[in-house]
Amino acid sequence: MISPGNLRQSSHLLSETQRPLLVTHVAPDGDAIGSLLGLGWTLLAQGKSPTLACQDVLPRRFAFLPGFEKVVQDPPPGPYDLLIVLDCSDLDRIGQIGEVVGRDLPLLNIDHHVTNTRFGTVDLVAEDAVSTTHLLYHLLQRLNYSLDERIATCLLTGLVTDTRGFRTANVTPEILRIAVELMEAGAPLTTITRNGLDRRPLAALRLWGAGLARLQSANGIVWTTLPVSVQQTIGHDGYGDAGLANLLISAEEAKVSVVFTEQPDGEVEVGFRATPGFDVSRIALQLGGGGHALAAGCRVPGPLEEAQRRVLALLREDLARQRQQVSPDDKRHPQPE
Amino acid sequence: MISPGNLRQSSHLLSETQRPLLVTHVAPDGDAIGSLLGLGWTLLAQGKSPTLACQDVLPRRFAFLPGFEKVVQDPPPGPYDLLIVLDCSDLDRIGQIGEVVGRDLPLLNIDHHVTNTRFGTVDLVAEDAVSTTHLLYHLLQRLNYSLDERIATCLLTGLVTDTRGFRTANVTPEILRIAVELMEAGAPLTTITRNGLDRRPLAALRLWGAGLARLQSANGIVWTTLPVSVQQTIGHDGYGDAGLANLLISAEEAKVSVVFTEQPDGEVEVGFRATPGFDVSRIALQLGGGGHALAAGCRVPGPLEEAQRRVLALLREDLARQRQQVSPDDKRHPQPE
């Protein structure tokens, strides 16, 4: 997960810094906040004076995390001696904070995304980590930094939210063993799962209701649309589809699911999900987007009805091709995931 | 979890039996099926000839479990020399199979429900087990029965489904440690969570849609109704509210959530959920039902509108009382649960 060269370089930057600025991505999730705070507490324990920043307001459901209220949206001008960017596949992800910070600072890039562009002075990027906090856990171990209850709570939060509560296919026994160690250091698993996974604004539930009421299903494709007018009536804040695509793929009838979310500018955000054995990254790529085999997305021109027709036609063709390729293999995988 | 006396008696019954009949409850869930099959494979490995039965058809999403197709709805008349009842709080829970089986058989009652009525010749009941398979895991350890991939898969299924994927408040590091051991014995966690927790019929999603479209919220209570006419239009099979009550309590605005499901006979099934710090078992009990602090239910007379008005009025009063009692304590529990 961490090469000796990477470890040496990261260790050097972390031991030399006195006033580091730590930044995570816009629209922050549990792993963004967990890795930001987890490394923040670690550096504080090492006698450093870290500043923690995120351009967007942190979702209130993470207020249980120690240090939540210390994260600033507009970091003071400094001076800083190191920029640490957490959980970002490229530097644009930190938003406008990137324009404020001096470009001449050494930059430590800590991330686990397969699409990371290696934008750091030192790139501590581990694609085999299930979360950025998973990578941080290994870094702390290798540097012999000790865990306390606060750090463990932050690290477990990223581990839990990025694996949807240990539900993704990359959860090995090692991940559960780390979870045990973090719990024994004081991390409250139930509080983390409850706040990180099982809480959402009423408006998100109403948006799901609107989407589910318009549910359609044919040929293994389950889909729905979210017109702007519906989003406005509900008072949805526009954070994508609020997880509706993940819900749709849970339908037993679905090989692939799609949510078409109309944008105020008339474009349509398309979120794809697939069940194991199918791949939606190719169609997303073909339409100018990207992603993984089981979760991908793109933006296409409106109007909504036309976008829906066009994407579903492409998807039907693509699925028919995939089915032909997949079927002979099916029998060799008696327990598909 | 298992007393020496219990262990001795259970061990005696299990070693003496040659043709045991294993039965689990109607409307079987992951722990019911997992404990039935897990103990079935264990006894088979011990050279016994177990028969496995459940009155209801097993949900197809558990077809990945080894031995799934071996479970019968109408067990042959026998003869049997032992009846083993799994995951049932009382004997009525096995349904009509109870009427067929000879009442003179010795009965081993293996369960983890706090409401278990101790109906067995030997009652192996552990209220501190998170699932019946959790209890079975300890039994197998104590009896030095070995785990294989099939047994591990069945046991992990109960552990995962009864804790909603390690999300309930009773998940300690020990539970995750057992999960690690079962995974290392070959249990496929991702397959289990996907099929046991993340799959549902399209009709269930449509029912959620109908319920969420009718969502109401006031004074910390989030509720909805499912009229019979709506259920029929959707083609819902009538297995309760398909988990809608659990979804409603995820609303950040909810202290308590309620789903009113109208029944074909005109009565109304009421499902309550609470966030930690509140207790819905008292109101359910007061209305002739029962349950736990965070999840309870009852049946009240219709019509739907009248039932809703009456229950919500009682609930508002009860909540106001609870808020008064709870508030002074709140500050002492910064991280409830």
Tell me the mean pLDDT in the region B172-190: 98
Report d(CA A156, CA A133) in Å as an integer.
Answer: 7
Query: For residues A283 and A258, is the Cβ–Cβ distance under 8 A?
Result: no
Does the ipTM surpass 0.90? no
B191 plus B213 within the same structural domain: no
Q: Give yes or no: residues A190 and A55 share one domain.
A: yes
pLDDT in tens, B42-87: 999 999 999 999 999 999 889 999 999 999 999 998 899 999 999 9
How many Å lie between the alpha carbon of B221 and the closest alpha carbon of chain A?
11
Q: Give B194's contacts in chain A (Cβ within 8 Å).
A: 167, 276, 337
What is the 3 state secondary structure string of B35-85?
Answer: HHHHHHHHHHHCCCCCEEECCCCCCHHHCCCCCHHHCECCCCCCCCCEEEE
| Cross-chain residue pair A209–B213, CB shorter than 8 Å | yes
Give contacts of A 155-194 with B, CB under 8 A.
165-169, 171-173, 176-177, 179-180, 183-184, 188-191, 193-194
Residue B333's pLDDT band (boundaries 50, 70, 90)? Answer: very low
User: Does the beta-carbon distance from B211 to A215 stay under 8 Å?
Assistant: no
Residue B162 and residue B264 in one domain: no
* Residues B137, B33 share a domain: yes
Together in a domain, B122 and B245: no
Provide the shortest C-alpha distance from residue A335 to chain B (in Å).
Answer: 6
A171 and A246, same domain (yes or no) = no
Chain A: nearest CA to B12, how far in angstroms? 35
pLDDT value, residue B246: 87
pLDDT tens string B257-277 = 999 999 999 999 999 999 988
What phi and psi values does residue B178 have, to the nearest 5 degrees? -65, -40
B87 and B208 within one domain = no
Chain A CB contacts of B61 under 8 Å are 252
Average pLDDT, chain B: 91
pLDDT of residue B294: 86
Min Cα distance A193 → chain B (Å) is 6
Q: What is the pLDDT of residue B207?
A: 93
Residue A167 with chain B: CB contacts under 8 Å: 165, 190, 193-194, 197-198
Burial A83-99 (b: 16+ CB within 10 A, else e): bbbbbbbbbebbbebbe
Residue B337 above 70 pLDDT?
A: no
Hey, are the CB atoms on B209 and A215 less than 8 Å from each other? yes
Are residues A134 and A42 part of one domain? yes
Sheet (strand A122-125) strand order = A51-53, A20-24, A82-86, A107-111, A122-125
Distances, alpha carbon A59 to alpha carbons A25, A206, A337, in Å: 13, 18, 32
How large a percentage of chain B has pLDDT more than 90? 76
CA pair distance B261, B226, nearest whole angstrom: 5
Taking CB atoms and an 8 Å limit, are A335 and B61 in contact across chains? Answer: no
Under DSSP, the state recorded for A251 is B
Q: Which of A149, A161, A205 to mutate to test the interface with B (most CBs of B within 10 A)?
A: A205
Structural tokens at position B80: 């049997």
| Residue B296 domain flag | yes
User: Same domain, yes or no, for B234 and B143?
Assistant: no
pLDDT of residue A326: 58
3-state secondary structure of A263: coil
Q: Domain boundary at A158, A178, A197, which?
A: A197
Structural domain count, chain A: 2
* Contact indicator for A155, A117 with CB cutoff of 8 Å: no
DSSP state letter for A294: S
E strand spans, A91-200: 107-111, 122-125
Please give the residue range of the domain that contains residue A58: 4-197
Quote the mean pLDDT of chain A.
91
pLDDT value at residue B332: 37
Q: Taking CA B51 as the corner, what is the angle to CA B45 and CA B55, rounded to the nearest 5 degrees?
A: 135
Pairing of β B122-125 and β B107-111? parallel
Beta sheet of A221-226, edge-to-edge order: A216-218, A221-226, A256-262, A268-274, A295-300, A290-291
Q: Indicate whether B116 and B143 sit together in one domain.
A: yes
In a domain, A335, yes or no: no
* Residue B191 C-alpha, separation from nearest chain A C-alpha, in angstroms: 5
| A21 and A69 fall within a common domain | yes
Nearest by CB to A166, which of B166, B168, B336? B166
A190 contacts B168? CB cut-off 8 A? yes
Chain B interface mutation, best of A61, A224, A337, highest count of B Cβ atoms under 10 Å: A337
Asked, for residue A336, whether it belongs to a domain, the answer is no
* pLDDT mean over B206-220: 94
Question: Which residue in chain A has the smallest CA separation from B174?
Answer: A180
Per-residue pLDDT tens digits for A182-206? 999 999 999 999 999 988 889 999 9
Domain boundary among A148, A175, A197: A197
pLDDT of residue A332: 36
Q: pLDDT tens digits, residue range A228-285?
A: 999 998 887 655 677 899 899 999 999 999 999 999 999 999 999 999 889 998 999 8
Pairing of strands B82-86, B20-24: parallel
Give the nearest chain B residue to A184 (CA atoms). B173
CB contact under 8 A, B202 and A213: no
In chain A, residues 97-126 whose CB comes closer than 8 Å to chain B = none
With a cut of 90, say whether residue A329 has pLDDT above it: no
Q: What is the mean pLDDT of residues A304-316?
A: 96
**Domain boundary pick from A141, A176, A197:** A197
Q: Is A336's pLDDT higher than 60? A: no
Given a cut of 50, is residue B336 above it in pLDDT?
Answer: no
CB-CB under 8 Å, A209 with B209: yes
- Answer yes or no: are the C-beta atoms of A322 and A278 closer than 8 Å: yes
Percentage, residues of chain A above pLDDT 70 = 95
pLDDT band at residue B334, thresholds of 50, 70 and 90? very low
> B68 exposed, middle or buried (CB, 10 Å; 0-12, 13-18, 19+)?
middle
Does residue B49 belong to any structural domain of this protein? yes
Q: B109 near B118, Cβ under 8 Å?
A: yes
Pairing assessment for the beta strands A51-53 and A20-24 based on DSSP bridges: parallel
CATH number of the structural domain spanning residue A56: 3.90.1640.10
Please count the other Cβ atoms lying within 10 Å of the Cβ belonging to residue B305.
Answer: 13
CATH of the domain at B248: 3.10.310.30
Closest approach of A277 to chain B, Cα-based (Å): 13
d(CA B126, CA B116): 9
Assess if residue B53 is contained within a domain: yes
pLDDT tier for residue B215 given thresholds of 50, 70 and 90:
very high
Q: Looking at the predicted structure, is the pLDDT value of residue A334 above 50?
A: no
Residues of B numbered 11-50 whose beta carbons fall under 8 angstroms of chain A's beta carbons: which are they? none
Inter-residue contact A151 to A181 (CB < 8 Å): no
What pLDDT is stored for residue A325 in this prediction? 73
Task: Measure CB to CB from residue B212 to each of A166, A188, A209 and give the nearest one.
Answer: A209
Q: How many C-beta atoms surround the C-beta of residue B327 within 10 A?
A: 10
SS (H, E, C) B105-155: CCEEEEECCCCCCCCCCEEEECCCCCCHHHHHHHHHHHCCCCCCHHHHHHH
Tell whether the model's pLDDT for residue A327 goes beyond 80: no
* CA torsion through residues A55, A59, A65, A67, sign: positive
Same domain, B259 and B290: yes
Residue B310 has pLDDT above 50, yes or no: yes
- Lowest average pLDDT, out of A320-324, B116-120, B300-304, goes to A320-324
CB A2 within 8 A of CB A126: yes
Q: Which long-range contacts (CB under 8 A, 24 or more apart) does A8-14 make?
A: A9/A122, A10/A108, A10/A110, A10/A122, A10/A124, A10/A139, A11/A143, A13/A82, A13/A106, A13/A108, A13/A121, A13/A122, A14/A43, A14/A46, A14/A108, A14/A143
Locate the chain B residue with the closest alpha carbon to A215.
Answer: B206
Residue A67, domain member (yes or no): yes
Digit-coded pLDDT (tens) for B223-260 = 999 999 999 988 876 556 778 998 999 999 999 999 99
Q: Is A197 on the interface with B (CB under 8 A)?
A: yes
Question: What pLDDT does B326 receive?
Answer: 58
Residue B28 in this model has a pLDDT that exceeds 70: yes
**For A106-135, what is the mean pLDDT?**
94
Q: Which of B179, B193, B276 sits opposite A176 (nearest CB)?
A: B179
The residue ranking higher by pLDDT, B334 or B316, is B316
Size of interface A-B (CB pairs under 8 A): 142
| CA distance to partner chain B, nearest, from residue A295 (Å) | 15
**Per-residue confidence (pLDDT) for residue A238, from 0 to 100:** 53
Residues 224-263 of A with CB under 8 A from B: 247-248, 250-254
What is the per-residue pLDDT across A76-96, written as a single tens digit (0 to 9) for each? 988 999 999 999 989 999 999
Q: Between residues A234 and A175, which one has the greater pLDDT?
A: A175
Beta strands A221-226; A216-218: pairing state:
antiparallel
A172 CB neighbours in chain B (<8 A) are 183
Cβ–Cβ gap B251/A205 under 8 Å: yes
The residue-averaged pLDDT of A18-22 equals 97
Best residue in A153, A189, A222, A257 to probe B by mutation, most B CBs within 10 Å?
A189
CB atoms within 10 A of CB A154: 31
CB within 8 Å: A180 and B183: no
The whole-number pLDDT of residue B237 equals 63
B82 assigned to some structural domain: yes
Residue A98, in any domain of the structure: yes
Helix H or strand E segment including A226: strand A221-226
The answer to whether the predicted template modeling score (pTM) of the entire model surpasses 0.90 is: no
